[in-house]
Amino acid sequence: MFLRFLSTCCVFFLCQGETTKYALLGKKVHLSTNIQPFPDEILWKHNGNKVIEFNGNKEDVYGSYKGRVTLDWISADLNISDVRFEDSGAYELELFINQKMHYINYNLQVIDKVTRPSISCERIPANGSSESGYQATLTCSAESKQSQSLLKFNWGPNGNMQLGPKLVIPLGNEHDAQVYDCTVSNPLSKESETFTAKECYPGKTLTLCV
């Protein structure tokens, strides 16, 4: 179908640059185009391989996308259901409209929901001496099947006190009931956990986890 574009199309028009899109594993993702007027022919590719194409009369779906994609013949929007990690990658849309070729590029990243985080404590003497009392470093962590760079960490009430996976806190005695909370988020989900300062003392459980 698209081979004939090379001979009939006199102008190649870049519609827009690459857009990054996130999708949750097992859910649906919608790739929109905002194309007007409606296209004569449509081809979606993933990492250079055909996903679905429409020749003006009928459509064909390829590979693992069979039964999982729907194409809007008017807008060229693509819906992918039950998304998988292997659906991540570069998507290219090729459109033929009024004898012009249009391209739209997407970068799709499929991610999992954030797991409930765990909080551990390292207790150290304040100012280098136990006579001055103690302080502690709390470390918040969460498992992730994707890059850790996608995770954001917020400490404090409503997650508004401090950013980052570590938090240095002052310690009272072994009955210190001050509560700290850590919220971990990625672009599509978030989870929280709380930690009580007295758990930093020997004989206490030093890590809270699911």
Quick one: pLDDT at residue 173? 85
Quick one: pLDDT at residue 10? 40
Quick one: pLDDT at residue 18? 62
Task: For residue 146, give every residue at least 6 positions away whose Cβ sits within 8 Å of its Cβ, in sequence order, or none.
Answer: 109, 111, 112, 186
**Domain spanning 2-111, CATH architecture:** Sandwich (2.60)
* Domain 118-208 CATH (choose: 3.40.50.170, 1.10.3470.10, 2.160.20.10, 2.60.40.10): 2.60.40.10
Rounded to two decimals, the pTM is 0.76
Quick one: pLDDT at residue 16? 52
Domain ranges of the chain: 2-111, 118-208
Quick one: pLDDT at residue 206? 42
The list of the chain residues with pLDDT below 70 reads: 1-18, 128-132, 158-160, 203-210
2-111 and 118-208, same CATH topology:
yes
Quick one: pLDDT at residue 210? 37
